[in-house]
Structure 1
Amino acid sequence: MATLPPRKFSNFAPTDIAKEHLTPLQILLQLGFPEHRATKALAATGHRSLQLASDWLLAHVTDPTLDEKEPREYVLYLCPTGQLHEQLQKFWFKSRELEWNGAHNFMPHITLVPPFKVTDELSKQAADILETLTAKDDCPDAIELETYVSPNFMGLFVKDEQAKWLKSLAAQYVGKLLDVGITAEPNTKSLHLTLAYQFSDSLFEPLSTMVEKLTTTGVVGWELRLYSKDPRSCDLHVHKVMHAHVPRNHDELELRPGDYIYVPEEACASTIDGWVEGVSWLTGLTGYFPLNHTKRTAESDAWTLHSTVQILDNKVECRDNIIPKARKPPVILFDDSIDAPDGVAEDSEPLEGEVAAATGSREILICRHGERVDFTFGTWIPYCFEADGCYVRRDLNMPIKIPPRNIKDFQDDCPLTALGELQASLIGEAMKESNVRIDVAFASPSLRCIQTLSQILKGFESDLSIKVEPGLMEWVAWYQNGLPTWMTSEELSKAGFNVDSSYKPIVKADELPLRESAAQYYARSYALIKSIIENTKGNILIVAHAISLAACTRQLIGGQVPQIPEVTRLVQQVPYLACLMVKEGPNGWVLLPPPFPPITHSSNKRFDWKILT
């Protein structure tokens, strides 16, 4: 056997650690970020992903408090889900139209542990401890609520028996926090969900009438949620940016739609010219801004969600006396080819011949988009745009050209790579060769999805127009900076995309929720796919996101909404251009493999020619 020649050049030193074994903090340190800044970024983004933490650091590079070590303020809430949550959301909206009152500062909740301080170094431990809570033998079947109405307060109070059990969970959590050096106190007062307080006397009658119409029975689930907030936001109002503003003077604050601004209450009341001073949630910068470009919103909208634990879902199942585990998104590395940590594929996908051919005439083919620029190149915008705003293609896998738009809008709505477009056209060619029939085509409003569908139709040699449906947007929980600014139909048409400008979306962009649980996202997707089926004829092609494959089909074929561990377990098994098909049969819809082979591709590291010199 020939012996291996000695390697003169090596990219791997004996002391190197494989990237997949590094913690997010270690990776940020390797990238050159100071430890205290990296730790702060991970805490501020809920340890949700490495990409979010690095983006936070870049956005806050000029934040004057970036190097301060003031701990964040945390709180443990119990929040309703299901039909009660939907009722409360409608109640909030209608009551806010009457007048803003104190209840509108937060989402509907029951406080289990009031605000407590946690250093950034212990942030992840505070969230992880939720997974270790154990249920008591007196675990209730449901949480019963009693309505209380008075001239200055309206709410729903938890009955004593269930309140005692909830307080024991809170005390257990507080005790485990103390074991790691975090001091907190459980709520010892009456547990309740506030509906209205600090309202005008004239609103008592209409508010009480609205409260009486609420029903606390039906499909009601409950989640433990651990939130934190920027210490600078204490005792300040939160305003959401509705319109952009470019500073004209050095003391003005740049406004970006989707950002939140912390504003002192007295500033709004005392302004004489409509300009107030505030702090940007997105950048941490302070400056003056036009108040009419923003809209007051709940303080909790600008909080960071660290963990969610489902404890009751209509009927408690305290199996093995362990509380169901929390939603813990896996760490996303820069080169991970996933949309979001909750992307999921069907774990029991049938093989060819395992499912009998359905007799129905309709088919739905759902695809994930192709390779995206930001996950391939990381922070690509400063690298590819000159000072004058001109785009420069610095790698052959970068787009040959990109549509004209505000450069900042690419941050949360990136294009495909050149290979991503090629991959999509290959899928279209395979569809044509397999005699797939498509009668209508839908895409998520994300640019990468529209580009993917455009290339699929090009390979398919089809002139179908693209119906851009905002309801196909992925789980909004992964967009901490607010929803992206998408291109309009007019902008897409000018950029050369064949979009259906007459299409009226089922879910308009401004109707998308700002916050939603995984269960709510699945419900949104299921309602959408049913509406698409009802309002179209023939076969349907949908291009959306990794999580869309399961969210749009699981309940359609009679399955149940998966638990959070199942959602996260299969996230990385949904590669770019993954496809699946559902077909209508005599007994409903069934899941089938697509009628063409999959497309497999590997990563290709950047070649450094200097190693040969």
Structure 2
Amino acid sequence: MATLPPRKNPTPTKISKEHLTPLQILLQLGFPEHRAVKALAATGHRGVQLASDWLLTHVRDPTLNSHEPREYVLYACPTGVLAEKLLTFWNESRELGWNGALNFMPHITLVSFFRAPDESAEQIASALESIVDCNEYPDSIGLETYVSQNFMGLFVKDKHAEWLTSIAMRYVNKLANLMITAEAHTNSLHLSLAYQFPNSLFVPLNNMVEQLGSNVPANWELRLYSRDSRLRNAHVHKVTHAHVPREHDELELRPGDYIYLPEGACDASIDGWVEGISWLTGTSGYLPLNHTKRTAESDAWTLHCTIQITDHRPQVGGEVPRSRKPPVLSSNESLDTPDGVPADNEPIEATQPPTIPSRQIFICRHGERIDFTFGTWIPYCFEPNGCYIRRDLNMPKEIPPRNIQDFQNDSPLTTLGEMQATLVGGAMRSSNVKIDVAFTSPSLRCVQTLSQILKGLGSDVSMKVEPGLIEWLAWYPNGLPTWMSPDELVKAGFNVDTNYEPIVKTKELPQRENAAQYYERSFELIKKIIENTVGNILIVAHAASLAACTRQLTGRRIPPAAEVTRLVQRVPYLACLTAHESLDGWQLHPPPFPPITHTSNSRFDWKILT
């Protein structure tokens, strides 16, 4: 056989779009590098969508081009029963009057605030993940109550304080390798309950501390936060009412935004107006103080990493988990007969195991979305009169009628996305998959995906729109998107069950949540879906949903936030996961049909041939 001659001009290596880093994608979208780096750091490196949204909202931020480093801090924070009791304590103590502890969430400071350039944000989080050894996890962290006339708190017992200090020191040493200077907080580790309060509040606060106690079950996790340097020494107020500027120097207020106010600004105001900086946009201006309410400074911080560091498991008295069923004896088994010994020396006839109907849950990610494929597509595709123009064959031929700006955070599918979904539905049909009930996230791309899957499957099952299936809310810093209502979806031609009562209503979704809270929300939702339905279930949601809906259902632990992000990056469009119910509970299985893979296809410009 003839050998191939060497090529003098090999084709340059092309990086697949699938393997581009978030920074590379932002650069391809046309954002300057220093701004893209700043956006990724400000949003905790949680993806391109969040970073691009941040850049668009901060376009008038005067510090957008500055190289001022962010400030980072490492806390140990409780979860579980103790966290719930502390939240109640915080709310009740706030009713008595503001004190210093209310500026932050309940925490133990391990590493004090340190400064680092935006380029190091990802390395700072990775360094924290590398210093925690799961083999060291204690069952709990011991606390002791301390009360004085000017301070109330829970101090860490010496044994556990030494362990937490060792974590802090290891992290500081890791940061030193990155040329970042930080200082471990090693003296008297504690969780502050109240300080800087007037003498008149000592008695009621003391009573509340006594009721709280220190021996409350809890798990603990490390949390790495960062903040805008402008937040230093500022009070933070949450916007409660909208305000449209009437003068050029006024600041627009949107409910859910946070405002940075200089210390003492509220007391110094003579007319109820103060000058502040918007967390959402980075711009400054005057605002009516009565449209805001003071909140914890930490509410406006960015969470970069969460790592669980204790393994407390409450005793359940041998109770069978809800996701499992007790074993079933076949007809020839006896509780009194020793294993392997037939009764009366008679041979045992072979019997079939008991037949138990096995339910299946199919969870799919939505198809290819238009905004991730084309970037800023809305100004490109809509005429001034609001008429939609299809500028590319991979753009949808038609889109549902709605407010154009609502597409900004609720993107439709591309033509390829619709084809992907139809192919998966056809594969389900060929594999004899039977679907009895179908749920979808309220995101338009998920509704469209489920509709096309059911079309390919040849199923007339109506879709149940469930807001609780929305992805991790940390990826929506500007608030929830405006979704189409079930009636609007029906009007647009989708087979939606308008009589369905959602398990989690839109107004019940939290404004902010960490990764653990997102997983808990998803776990509670999937349990209720299982309890309230019969037969096989099909769910179309988001990349993070595949793990979030099944992790605890199958008996595994909630992953740290950094792992959540990594998992999302490995879940392609129309990825599908199957969970089977058996005697041993729910188990993960591959779907009974192959995955769908396609290559990147760059846009063709015919002018290159002229």
| TM-score, length of structure 2 as denominator length | 0.80
CA displacement 1:295-320 (0-9 Å, x = unmatched): 443221221223333333339xxxxx
Larger radius of gyration: 2
Give me the whole-angstrom Cα distance separating, in 2, the residues matched to 1:63 and 1:393: 33
The structure-2 alpha-carbon separation of the partners of 1:196 and 1:519, relative to structure 1 and needing over 3 Å to count, comes to same
In 2, are the aligned partners of 1:156 and 1:193 still within 8 Å (CA)? yes
Q: Choose which of 389, 393, 405 in structure 2 pairs with 1:392.
A: 389
For 1:78-477, what aligned pairs fall within 5 Å after superposition?
Answer: 78-96=76-94, 99-133=97-131, 142-150=140-148, 152-199=150-197, 207-214=205-212, 220-242=218-240, 245-264=243-262, 266-268=264-266, 276-291=274-289, 294-314=292-312, 359-360=356-357, 362-387=359-384, 389-432=386-429, 434-477=431-474
In 2, are the aligned partners of 1:557 and 1:590 still within 8 Å (CA)? yes
The structure-2 alpha-carbon separation of the partners of 1:502 and 1:50, relative to structure 1 and needing over 3 Å to count, comes to closer
Match of 1:531 in 2: 528
In 2, are the aligned partners of 1:358 and 1:584 still within 8 Å (CA)? no
CA displacement 1:213-250 (0-9 Å, x = unmatched): 44655763322222211122222232344555554543
In 2, are the aligned partners of 1:139 and 1:165 still within 8 Å (CA)? no
Q: Greater shift after overlay, 109-118 or 424-433?
A: 424-433
The structure-2 alpha-carbon separation of the partners of 1:201 and 1:503, relative to structure 1 and needing over 3 Å to count, comes to farther
In 2, are the aligned partners of 1:358 and 1:583 still within 8 Å (CA)? no
In 2, are the aligned partners of 1:60 and 1:284 still within 8 Å (CA)? yes
Give me the whole-angstrom Cα distance separating, in 1, the residues matched to 2:129 and 2:63: 32
Match of 2:571 in 1: 574
Q: Greater shift after overlay, 16-25 or 447-456?
A: 16-25
The structure-2 alpha-carbon separation of the partners of 1:495 and 1:207, relative to structure 1 and needing over 3 Å to count, comes to farther
Give me the whole-angstrom Cα distance separating, in 1, the residues matched to 2:177 and 2:4: 56
Give me the whole-angstrom Cα distance separating, in 1, the residues matched to 2:569 and 2:206: 49
Give me the whole-angstrom Cα distance separating, in 1, the residues matched to 2:358 and 2:175: 57
Q: What is the identity, as a one-letter code, of the residue corresponding to 1:115? A: F
Give me the whole-angstrom Cα distance separating, in 2, the residues matched to 1:276 and 1:262: 10
Give me the whole-angstrom Cα distance separating, in 2, the residues matched to 1:278 and 1:127: 30
Q: Report how far residue 113 of structure 1 moved.
A: 2.0
CA displacement 1:440-494 (0-9 Å, x = unmatched): 3222222221222233334445454433222212223333444434344454445
Report how many residues are paired. Answer: 570
Give me the whole-angstrom Cα distance separating, in 2, the residues matched to 1:388 and 1:234: 46
Kindly indicate whether residue 61 of structure 2 is the aligned counterpart of residue 57 of structure 1: no
In 1, are the aligned partners of 2:259 and 2:279 still within 8 Å (CA)? yes
Give me the whole-angstrom Cα distance separating, in 1, the residues matched to 2:407 and 2:355: 42
Give me the whole-angstrom Cα distance separating, in 1, the residues matched to 2:287 and 2:24: 38
Q: What is the identity, as a one-letter code, of the residue corresponding to 1:507? A: V
Give me the whole-angstrom Cα distance separating, in 1, the residues matched to 2:563 and 2:44: 20
The structure-2 alpha-carbon separation of the partners of 1:431 and 1:183, relative to structure 1 and needing over 3 Å to count, comes to closer
In 2, are the aligned partners of 1:472 and 1:544 still within 8 Å (CA)? yes
Give me the whole-angstrom Cα distance separating, in 1, the residues matched to 2:246 and 2:103: 32
Match of 1:541 in 2: 538
Q: Report how far residue 158 of structure 1 moved.
A: 0.8
Q: What is the identity, as a one-letter code, of the residue corresponding to 1:211? A: V
Give me the whole-angstrom Cα distance separating, in 1, the residues matched to 2:177 and 2:186: 20
Give me the whole-angstrom Cα distance separating, in 2, the residues matched to 1:246 and 1:183: 43
Give me the whole-angstrom Cα distance separating, in 2, the residues matched to 1:565 and 1:70: 25
The structure-2 alpha-carbon separation of the partners of 1:553 and 1:35, relative to structure 1 and needing over 3 Å to count, comes to closer
CA displacement 1:497-528 (0-9 Å, x = unmatched): 44444433322334334444434332322221
In 1, are the aligned partners of 2:134 and 2:309 still within 8 Å (CA)? no
Task: Give the SS at the match of 1:414.
Answer: coil
Match of 1:321 in 2: none
Kindly indicate whether residue 601 of structure 2 is the aligned counterpart of residue 601 of structure 1: no
Give me the whole-angstrom Cα distance separating, in 2, the residues matched to 1:164 and 1:528: 39
Give me the whole-angstrom Cα distance separating, in 2, the residues matched to 1:520 and 1:569: 18
Give me the whole-angstrom Cα distance separating, in 1, the residues matched to 2:512 and 2:39: 21
In 2, are the aligned partners of 1:135 and 1:169 still within 8 Å (CA)? no
In 1, are the aligned partners of 2:368 and 2:416 still within 8 Å (CA)? yes
In 2, are the aligned partners of 1:358 and 1:585 still within 8 Å (CA)? no
Match of 1:324 in 2: none
Task: Give the SS at the match of 1:422.
Answer: helix
Give me the whole-angstrom Cα distance separating, in 1, the residues matched to 2:203 and 2:173: 43
Q: Choose which of 545, 548, 551 in structure 1 pairs with 2:548.
A: 551
The structure-2 alpha-carbon separation of the partners of 1:535 and 1:275, relative to structure 1 and needing over 3 Å to count, comes to farther
In 1, are the aligned partners of 2:137 and 2:310 still within 8 Å (CA)? no
Give me the whole-angstrom Cα distance separating, in 1, the residues matched to 2:455 and 2:312: 48
Q: Percent identity?
A: 70
The structure-2 alpha-carbon separation of the partners of 1:297 and 1:460, relative to structure 1 and needing over 3 Å to count, comes to farther
Q: Report how far residue 369 of structure 1 moved.
A: 1.2
In 2, are the aligned partners of 1:359 and 1:584 still within 8 Å (CA)? no
Q: Report how far residue 145 of structure 1 moved.
A: 0.9
In 1, are the aligned partners of 2:168 and 2:184 still within 8 Å (CA)? yes
CA displacement 1:387-441 (0-9 Å, x = unmatched): 5554432222223333444444433322211222233234344445555443332
Match of 1:588 in 2: 585
RMSD over equivalenced CA pairs, Å: 3.9
The structure-2 alpha-carbon separation of the partners of 1:387 and 1:61, relative to structure 1 and needing over 3 Å to count, comes to farther
Match of 2:321 in 1: none
Match of 1:66 in 2: 64
Kindly indicate whether residue 29 of structure 2 is the aligned counterpart of residue 46 of structure 1: no
The structure-2 alpha-carbon separation of the partners of 1:450 and 1:198, relative to structure 1 and needing over 3 Å to count, comes to farther
